[in-house]
Structure 1
């Protein structure tokens, strides 16, 4: 229970649920853009890794195995395919669970790089601008409003 509370505290401290809500509103407006799902998957993965890193920094090294076992117990006791859109983890992605367990086993305490996520967001923004011009039936050089 201690590990779950620490993990959820990390999500609350980082305002992950608020970011997820804002992203879902944004993704509704951008539903035609296929990169949205890639960004969403990366964002959820980063949120989980950061929460795990917070827990690992706040427990003893000899408790890492117990934390990994607590994660596995929660997976086995709950439905693996959680359909709740505000859920941060276990949305049917075994690769996320595998990566988290490997990070815990290795004691990976380094902060994850957000450079790829930033690049994808910028790229998505430019695609959004280009697509919005075509959706409105205007060319990029037509300034007659």
Structure 2
């Protein structure tokens, strides 16, 4: 996939990404976690403005990680130290969008590396608590 950023100091820039998409058993709130440098290169927020501004996880963390969500209560359940670490170790980013999880890594990669990204995404989903799939979180939100 190519992401094009127009304007700025260097004019038009084309950034290449390899992408994997998983179909989920249920729709989940739009949420994303990404290596900060991946988002910075695009100079765009990872989700629509309705999701609020991206948040650094936690401030001062290396590598810099960014999270954005439409539902902060949901994000507290799924954006854990474990899921952030797996994302950082993969040098990747991911986004929940309805019934899909979309993951990306910089540059064009061979099939084996894209399959590895999909495996990491599966591991991240496996770290989510069971309550996110049933909607029984004990809180006011049901998805």
Query: TM-score normalized by structure 2?
Result: 0.28
**Structure possessing the higher radius of gyration over alpha carbons:** 1
TM-score scaled by length of structure 1:
0.28
Query: Is the strand fraction higher in 1 or 2?
Result: 2
